[in-house]
Structure 1
């Protein structure tokens, strides 16, 4: 049985990887056109938890400390001479998102939206204030 991500009170099992991915994709679809237009080549991956190499790359030790990460070069740092590079990727980590949900009481759908937009913000080289403004725009 697939669990939907609609709000805070979810019966039974926590949402699956697929449910979190569906919600993250819905968040992306609500972004302003100017942002969505530049996300076509960015790969969205939802995984159970970050691997040791990823954790080490961001200075963390425990997989529940990392809810998401952006791998790639921000748009402003890209060059026409870039070729053959691995596509930019946004990773969301289900176990860490669920742990933060339990610890904070933030609505799960809001938390997934926050993490998704934060990682998209890294793709665009946005400041934290700009990320919050984008998050507000999506919530409207």
Structure 2
């Protein structure tokens, strides 16, 4: 996808949806019902909660209860959400020259890994495998 202007929130969401459609069905099934939301930047309270000083360092965030911690007895709370942050993603895209689709896919897969309750090592392995 070539861009003559910076990709919009909708453009990033379209790339995320394409990336989600391309992951193996077994993973996609387990993510069904998880919302994917694109915001410009992370909110200040989120950065404080995570101990992140630079808002450009956070490209994505999983909000919810990892599958490894869910129980059928749990009372449903807010839906699980994968947040992608447009401006930090675009900054990384500019700085690295990486393909934008590949970058959005990497962020999405990383956050899906958190949904599964995976460790960072498991997430890195997942990113390499799919």
1:3 is matched with: none
Alignment partners' CA distance in 1, 2:80 and 2:71? 14
Alignment partners' CA distance in 2, 1:11 and 1:72? 33
**Match for 1:35 among 22, 27, 31?**
27
2:31 match: secondary structure: coil
2:36 match: secondary structure: strand
In the alignment, structure 1 segments of 5+ residues that lack a partner are 1-5
Deviation for aligned residue 1:129:
3.8
Alignment partners' CA distance in 2, 1:34 and 1:71? 21
Alignment partners' CA distance in 2, 1:85 and 1:38? 18
Output the aligned Cα RMSD.
1.5
Deviation for aligned residue 1:121:
0.6
Native 8 Å contact 1:67 1:93 kept in 2: yes
1:115 match: secondary structure: helix
Alignment partners' CA distance in 2, 1:131 and 1:84? 26
Q: Count how many residue pairs are aligned between Structure 1 and Structure 2.
A: 130
Native 8 Å contact 2:19 2:101 kept in 1: no
**Match for 1:117 among 76, 91, 109?**
109
Matches within 5 A, 1:1-140: 6=1, 10-138=2-130
